[in-house]
Amino acid sequence: MSLLPDTNVEERPLVVECNDAWLYGMISLPEQIGSRGVLILVGGPQYRVGSHRQFTLLARNLAADGIPVFRFDCRGMGDSEGDPRDFERLEDDLHCAIDRFLQELPALDELVIWGLCDAASAALFYAHRDPRVTGLVLLNPWVRTEQGEAKAYLKHYYLTRFFNKGFWGKVLSGRFDYSTATRSFTRTIARAAAGRRANEHGQKEPARTGESCDPANLPDRMLDGLRRFNGKILLIISGNDLTAQEFSDLVSASPGWQRLLAAPRVSRHNLPEADHTFSRRLWRDQVADITRNWIRSW
């Protein structure tokens, strides 16, 4: 255990038993502990520190303001034991981590799950199943489908490049690879068109939350999780990120998503210049401030 310099934040390791594996994490504790804590869920090939120490710094920032935070490595990642698993199979990891967090801090009455990208998707799958979870912070949720990705590329990547000086510099200097670019553009159009044809002929029924992974209906299953969860939601969206743009395009085309995200329990913040992981200090601090103020607002 250690007290961070120039703060009243204490950090200490925490070990979680999950089925036949041990998970390792770090808890950040304020001097005075309130009734609401935050669990940072790590998604993708990532561990509890986060890109450019994002999760570490966020945890310390929140703890300095009186909000205890637990961040941990899921099975098969970082220091934790077990076989790696994707965001579709984190239910046991989450449940065990929450059990351990609340065992360590029995004064906590409520819990907020904070998740970026596919961790946000995993949080939506899980939250409605656990009454201890009363809030979700979802950053750039992962709703990836082959057709959705293709449409996002057409709308946000190719169109942006057309107006980019660097692109025209390559064209005018003869350094532009027309053959490769044409093949890529044609494939992207074909993928987007395939999705449109599928929609015209009717999509299959959404799978029940918790079923095996089917990327084609991932957005439907996430919508189902959102519909079933009755707690508060904070949505933070980057402006300079294809994953975020794919999510925003999905919402724009879906009355179901629009209706649920328009509810009073949902707060939304857009950071127009930010990239996927909020890599600059300015964006990172904005995320921390938005998160902290939102948690304190209810």
Which DSSP helix (H) or strand (E) runs through 195? helix 178-200
What residues pair up with 26 in beta bridges, in sequence order?
Answer: 13, 71
Residues contacting 90, CB < 8 A, separation 6+: 41, 74, 122, 126
Reported as a single tens digit per residue, the pLDDT across 207-219 is 333 334 454 489 9
Token readout for 121 is 């998707």
Q: Please give the full DSSP string across 64-107, using - where no structure is assigned.
A: HTT--EEEEPPTTSTT--S----GGG-HHHHHHHHHHHHHH-TT
Give the model's pLDDT for residue 174: 53
pLDDT given at position 183: 56
pLDDT above 50 (res 236): yes
* pLDDT for the residue numbered 173: 58
Q: What is the pLDDT of residue 29?
A: 97
Q: With a threshold of 0.85, does the pTM exceed it?
A: no
- Could you tell me the two tokens for 89? 């199979």
Q: What is the pLDDT of residues 73-110, one digit of tens each?
A: 999 999 999 999 999 999 999 999 999 999 999 999 99
Maximum Cα interatomic distance, the chain, rounded to a whole number of Å: 66
Confidence of residue 198 (pLDDT cuts 50, 70, 90): very low
Burial readout 47-57 (b: 16 or more C-beta within 10 A, e: otherwise): bbbbeeebbbb
pLDDT band, very low/low/confident/very high, at 153 (cuts 50, 70, 90):
very low
Tokens read off for 28 = 């950040």
pLDDT of residue 44: 80
The 10s digit of each residue's pLDDT in 160-187 is: 554 455 544 554 555 544 455 455 545 5
Q: How confident is the model at residue 23 (pLDDT cuts 50, 70, 90)?
A: very high
Residue-level pLDDT at 131: 97
In this structure, which amino acid lies at residue 247? Answer: F
27, pLDDT greater than 80? yes
